[in-house]
Amino acid sequence: MNGRDTILPHVRKALAAKTCESVRGAEEPMPDAEAFRAWLPAVGRDYKSHKRLFAEHATALRTDFRVVADREAMLDEITRLAKAEGWKKVGSHGGALTDAASNATALPICRTDDGYDVGDLESCDAGISACEALIAQTGSVLITSRSSGGRALSILPPHHVVLAKREQMLPDMVAGYAMLREKYGGTYPSLVSFITGPSRTGDVERILVLGAHGPKKLTVLLMES
């Protein structure tokens, strides 16, 4: 007999006895995601306040958050970053913005979407990727394996650079999930991840250290037009 045919009947049998009222309390209606908004941290109504909140979180999280006016300014910023940090190779993936950005560095590129070698990606100084959204409420970057060059690009190189557009700024996680649902319907990408700051740990005496296993640096470039 397989486990399924024992466990499920066990569960049903266990649930045949109703939960004690004294423990359960009054049954309230199941809240929907809209209700969460009245409970979780407030986010403000417009793009300006969302951007401000994201910047606030970025400072606390030590995310390097830079707002750039347009495409040209973004490419300049990438070039400056590459030079300042002495990058020798970048990882990236196909896409109008990511192609332009990785080409702007004039460095060798490891593109994850045409079959890559893990060692090659590991030796990149930065991974440049697009994202699904930015989440103001928590200062997070929302990525998926489809929109951001697969699973490893955003976690393996020591510096993750995210390219985002103004319309990708969303107020909260509820909006993030709603966006994913609308975009992907029944078939989600195999990985969906909220990235909130550079990799961190507090496992040595509860003292914060960045870059435990994932990127030590996270740069978010927000293009306003």
Stretch that binds another protein, among 44-52, 65-73, 117-125, 161-169 (CB under 8 A): 117-125
Indicate the DSSP class of residue 30: P
* Beta bridge pairs of residue 140: 135
Identify the residue among 68, 170, 197, 220 touching another protein (CB under 8 A). 197
Residues 141, 195 contacting (CB under 8 angstroms): yes
Least distance from another protein to the Cβ atom of residue 188, Å:
5
> CB count, 10 Å around CB of 209?
12
Q: What is the CA 16 to chain-centroid distance, rounded?
A: 42
Work out whether 108 is an interface residue with another protein (CB under 8 A): no
Cβ nearer to another protein, comparing 11 with 96? 11
Positions in 22-41 near another protein (CB under 8 A): 22-24, 28, 30-33, 35-36, 38-41
Cβ nearer to another protein, comparing 67 with 180? 180
Angle 220-134-175 (CA atoms, 0-180°, nearest 5)?
180
Cβ nearer to another protein, comparing 57 with 75? 57
Identify the residue among 89, 192, 217, 220 touching another protein (CB under 8 A). 192
CA distance 98 to 161: 10
Which residue shows structure tokens 């970057």? 141
> CB count, 10 Å around CB of 20?
7
Indicate the DSSP class of residue 211: -
Identify the residue among 106, 118, 182, 225 touching another protein (CB under 8 A). 118
Positions in 151-190 near another protein (CB under 8 A): 151-152, 154-156, 172-174, 176-178, 180-181, 187-190
- Kind of pairing between the strands at 200-201 and 209-210: antiparallel
Positions in 63-82 near another protein (CB under 8 A): none
Indicate the DSSP class of residue 56: H
Cβ nearer to another protein, comparing 30 with 96? 30
Closest to 44 (Cα-Cα) out of 185, 171, 139, 201: 171
Cβ nearer to another protein, comparing 77 with 172? 172
Element (H, E) at 18: none
Least distance from another protein to the Cβ atom of residue 215, Å:
7
Cβ nearer to another protein, comparing 73 with 178? 178
Positions in 83-102 near another protein (CB under 8 A): 93
